[in-house]
Every structure is written in C-alpha cells, then in structure tokens.
Amino acid sequence: MGMFARAGAMVGALGLVASLALTGCGAEQKKAEFVGATAPATSTSPGPAVESGSPAAPSGPPLTVSPADGAKNRPVSAEISAVLPGGAKVSAVTLATASGSRVEGRLRADGSSWVPSKPLKYGTRYTATVSATGADGSTSQGTSSFTTMAKPRSMISSGLYLFDDRTYGVAMPVVTEFHPGIPKKDRAAVQRRMFVQTDPPQPGAWHWVANGTQAYYRAPEYWKPGTTLTVRIALAGIPLSNGRHGNVDRSATAKIGRAFEMQVDNATKKMTVYEDGQVVRTVPVSLGKKKTPSSSGTMVVMEKMESTVFDTRDDPDPANRYVTEIDFAQRLTWGGEYIHAAPWSEGQQGRVNVSHGCVNVSTANARWLFGKTKIGDPITIKGTERKLAPGNGWTAWSQSWSEFVKGSAVPVPEGGETPTF
C-alpha cells in the first residue's frame, strides 16, 4: 500500500502467512491483510530532542559525519551520526535541504545516531551539521552534504495492525507485516527502525515469525489498563539484501482499555470471564470435536462481525462443508476459529464438543460477550487435542516471555527493552 489508509480501512489480502491448513468453523481460512494507520500530525522519532541552536565556535578536532560528505544515492531512511572524541556527547544536529528547509528529528536513546522524524525526500541534497561537547568542555563540529537516491522500483510492502485513536484490549500486540518476508540477515536493521513507546513506560520486545512475514511487539505481561501505545514503523527507503526497499513509514497512537480476559477449560466445557481481575460471568461452551479440535493457547480477538456467513464449501472433507448464517462472530485465528453464537448446539454447550473448531456459546452469551470485548482482548483455551500454531492469528502470547524474546533479531536485555522516543 503506497499511502496511509484512513483509520479502520482494510486493504487487500496479500497472503503473508503461509497456508496453515488448519481446521476452523469460520467463513474462510483467512490470510493476514495489510492494514494502514492514519499518520499523526506530528511524526515521532526515538530518543530525546537535541538542541539545534547556534553552537559555540569549535575548539576541538573536526568530526567525521555520516553519511559522508559528497555521498550519493543514500537511502531516504538515512540517519545522521558522527565519530566522536572520547567522552564527547552530541550537543546539536541540524539537517536541511539546499533551500534551507529544516528536518526535525531526535537522537536515539543510546546516542548512536540522529533519526529524522519522517523519511527524507528522494533525489534531494541535504546538509548535516553535528556538534559535540567533550568532557573537558571543548567543542567539535562536522558537516556533510549528501544526496538521496531516486525512488526505487522494487519495494517491500508493509502493514501495521494499529490505528490512531482506537482503544484495544490488554493483550493487543503491535503487529507488523511484510510482503515478501524480511530476510533473516536484514531483520536486525529493520527491527532497529521499529519504534514503540508506552505511557506509562513498560518493557517490551519484538519477535519474528519464522518466515519473516510478521513481527510482534509485546510486554512480559499484558499491557497495563490505560496505557498509551505510540508506534512508528520507520521503514520507508530502508535497503534490504534482496534488492528491495521499504515502501512507507507507518505511525499510530492508540489506547489500551480495561482488563478483560476469557479463559476456557476443555475439561469443564466452561468459559470464565474476568473484568479488572474479577469474575463477571461463567459461560457454557462447546469446542471443536476430536476430528476438528479447537486450538489450545492464548489468542486475541482480531475481528468482530455482528452478522456474517460461514461458507466452507471448499473444504476437502465433505462432512465439513456448509453455509450458515452466524451472529456475533469474533475471529481468533486466520485458520477460521471464532467465538460465536451457536443456537443449534445450546443443548451440548457445557457438556460435549460438537463444533468444527470454534468456541460455541448461546446467542444470549454471544451477544453479551460481543458487547463487552475489544480487539486485542485475550482468550486462553486449554486442554484440547491441538496446540495453537505460531502465526495462526496474533500469537504473540502463545509463548512464555523467555521463549518469546528468542525471536528477537537483536539481543534483549533481561526484563525487556524500554525504548523511548
């Protein structure tokens, strides 16, 4: 997608998740879809702002600035850095076009580089000036003029499942998607351009699915209710080893709502519903029968449809083919598992499993749940014959924290990273 979509828009299924071949009672075994986000009025970038006023006259050796002076064909994702004398810290960075237009930006939290707040323009000449102050009070300065590359023809498509001004459940991961997938050797560089800020601050980490088509960001525990998530996936122009470049930057600022959690135990055929830590309802359920079991694991609500049609006439097993109108459907997996009203199984709910993999509940309970849940609310199912497959839905919570951080492309400090803008 070449431009930001309006909040709530869903843009073409691009087939990012390999065919899962998983049983589900849903309308289709849906593949992931790219989702855009409305760009905020003010772009964000990592780390504290750096003063851009007139520095004192340099008294130390000149700085070597990157990109190098005279460099051409630099990517529009270029960051500004400099080789600093021992103990020196950056005191000012300016970046401007030949016409004098200034580019806003901020230092990374570790001070390693200065990141423009939005992609640079293609085919444009820029001049960067970096000033630094040493521990002894001496000042150094360096200047570089460079030119960005023309817009590349081969780009990688990206998506962000988060929208401005939306409120999500406490298990909502930050979900990014790529088509084609990011090569393994490029993931660290891409991950360093994916910024997440939480308010109040909470540690977190990224995890890549095996084929590189998705990456999830989550905290060690569910988000604190009331958290603000500010996300910038700053991939426009980033070069990859397969000759492609990132297509756009995507940004979103969203809220986390109250704590709402559903826990389903196959042994009792019951769902226990918690709100802010208190049990608010116990719901009889019917899960997938042995031939088409429900997935065990922690999933999140990804999509809600008050009314839809499940059409499984393309299922290879004739016994699983049907067309049925469904009310109060809430998608849990790409493979077609939902929570939904099933008036035809109300007699079996709480006693025996008869579904094709979905969580069947009564119409009254389905209506009640539909009115309470948000996208990103978690549901944990345990005790079934099948384990939730990684990537079959937003599976960020299907692993322990210690296992989750192993999927990061860069080392994760104990307890998680605490990135700042």
Q: Express each pLDDT in 79-115 by its tens digit.
A: 999 999 888 999 999 999 999 999 999 999 888 999 9
CA atoms within 13 A on the CB side of 62: 7
CB neighbourhood size of 72 (10 A) = 10
Asked if 148 and 120 touch (Cβ cutoff 8 Å), the reply is yes
Statement: residue 54 has pLDDT above 70? no
CA contacts within 13 A on the Cβ side of 54: 1
Residue 270 pLDDT class (50, 70, 90 cuts): very high
pLDDT at 415: 78
Can you give the pTM of this predicted structure? 0.85
CATH code for the structural domain at 11-32+259-392 = 2.40.440.10
CATH 2.60.40.3780 location in the chain: 64-147
Q: In sequence order, which residues have a C-beta less than 8 Å from that of residue 315 and are 6 or more positions away? A: 321
Note the pLDDT of residue 61. Answer: 83
Closest residue by Cα to residue 305 from 28, 14, 11, 118: 28
Give catalytic residue positions: 340, 358
pLDDT at position 324 is 82
Q: Does domain 64-147 have CATH number 2.60.40.3780?
A: yes
What is the per-residue pLDDT for 313?
Answer: 60
Q: What is the mean pLDDT of the chain?
A: 87
Average pLDDT value for residue range 351-378 = 97
Where exactly does CATH 2.40.440.10 map onto the chain? Answer: 11-32+259-392
Q: How sure is the predictor about 27, in pLDDT bands with cuts at 50, 70 and 90? A: low
pLDDT digits (tens, 9 = 90+) for 246-261: 999 999 999 999 999 9
Q: pLDDT-based confidence at 14, cuts 50/70/90? A: very low
Pick 155-254+402-407's CATH classification: 2.60.40.3710, 3.60.15.10, 2.60.120.10, 3.40.50.300: 2.60.40.3710
Return phi, psi of residue 190, to 5°.
Answer: -65, -45
Between these two residues, 167 and 135, which has the higher pLDDT value? 167
In the chain, list all ranges with CATH 2.60.40.3710. Answer: 155-254+402-407
